[in-house]
Every structure is written in C-alpha cells, then in structure tokens.
Amino acid sequence: GENVEQHPSTLSVQEGDSAVIKCTYSDSASNYFPWYKQELGKGPQLIIDIRSNVGEKKDQRIAVTLNKTAKHFSLHITETQPEDSAVYFCAASADGQNFVFGPGTRLSVLP
Amino acid sequence: DSGVTQTPKHLITATGQRVTLRCSPRSGDLSVYWYQQSLDQGLQFLIQYYNGEERAKGNILERFSAQQFPDLHSELNLSSLELGDSALYFCASSAGGYSNQPQHFGDGTRLSIL
C-alpha cells in the first residue's frame, strides 16, 4: 500500500522567513496530494492541493510543487507569520480513496 | 467553519463499553470519511462511505463499524473498547466518490477510555 513520509518533523523559522516541508510517496498510482493545517483543538483544514497533471500550484503565500518522477511534493510558505504556526500534514490518494497522511510537521514561527 | 459537524465533542467511557460517534457532512457532500488520530499513529484512514454505500476500507478494526444513512449523516460505532482506542476521531466529507475532491474535516470527537 501507499506510504507517505514527511520531513522535517519540527521546523522553527523567524517571522518573515520561508518554510519548506517535503513529502515523499511510494505508490505511483497516487494522483492527488492535499496539504492540511491543524491548529490545536481543531480538525485539519485544507490549505492547498495539487493533482498529478500539474507541477506547481500557488495561492498567495502558499505554493506546492510536485515531482512525479521522484515521487515527492513540497509545501512552500513565504513571508511566514505567527498565525502560520500549526501542524501541517501532507497526504496522497489515488482517485479519492484511501487517503494516506504523512506524520506531520510542527511549524513554529518566532516573532 | 468547515461545515462538517461532529458530536459529541468529548466522550469518556470505560473499557469494554460501546460508543457511537456521529457526523453530519457539508451540505451537498456525498462522501464521508472516518479517521483516527492518536499521538503515535498520526491520522489513520478508517473507512469511506459514498451515498450510503461503503467505498473504501483502511485500518479499521473488526470491533469498529460505520454506516451512512439516507440523509447522508454517518455514524461510527466502536465496541469492546480498549485503552488503546483513546484518540481523536475525525470525520471528513467531500463531494465525490472516486474523484479527487477536497476533503473537509470536522473538529473531531475526543474519546477517552478509562
């Protein structure tokens, strides 16, 4: 089955700096890759997603890149702000089933 | 607000008991997914329903079962509870079944087994 690895497990950055979180997946059939942000006491919130027919997607300060050949995808957050502090999860899915999540990255943005 | 409603928010019970967790999906969403989140296991996919029928199964124990009703709300039943079942249980919904539609999560039910 699918296996998703995520690095780093914790990340601290200064406010205004960029943050990058990387995920790798094992199943070449996976074709949908969402990223979620989870704040304390809340459920995961979808922040951006990418499908396998696209190499890059951007939404304001957040971007995701996908390398299908290498089976990895990355989340990029620019101009980080304290409210970006949270746990971030990547996930992989084939056709909307059996979503497999990475173990999460705890991002701390220091003022 | 994701539009996905989960009840109850907290549940405390004892080993050997049975509980039912409830999820109301976003308006218009036909798929419901259940996940278990524990400290050492991360988010684990349990089961998916689409328009009342089971669509995919993940790491769901035989002691656990789920169903989706005609009004599209879903229930997750956990029986013969063990200490290790203590976790956050999340429900998510999406518009599609096989298509890659975004999932929207509720805020979860925290289950504590004493």
* Residue-wise pLDDT tens digits, B50-65: 999 999 898 899 999 9
Rounded distance, CA B38 to CA A54, Å?
33
pLDDT value of residue B42: 80
Average pLDDT over residues A53-82: 95
Q: B99 contacts in A (CB within 8 Å)?
A: 95-96
Quick one: what percent of chain A has pLDDT higher than 90? 86
Rounded distance, CA B90 to CA A67, Å?
30
The shortest CB-CB distance from A96 to any of B4, B94, B106 is to: B94
Rounded distance, CA A75 to CA B79, Å?
39
Pick from A49-53, A105-109, B84-88, B98-102: least confident: B98-102
Rounded distance, CA A19 to CA A82, Å?
12
Cβ distance of A97 and B108 shorter than 8 Å: no
Cβ distance of A46 and B102 shorter than 8 Å: yes
- Indicate whether A94 pLDDT > 90: no
The shortest CB-CB distance from B98 to any of A46, A96, A99 is to: A96
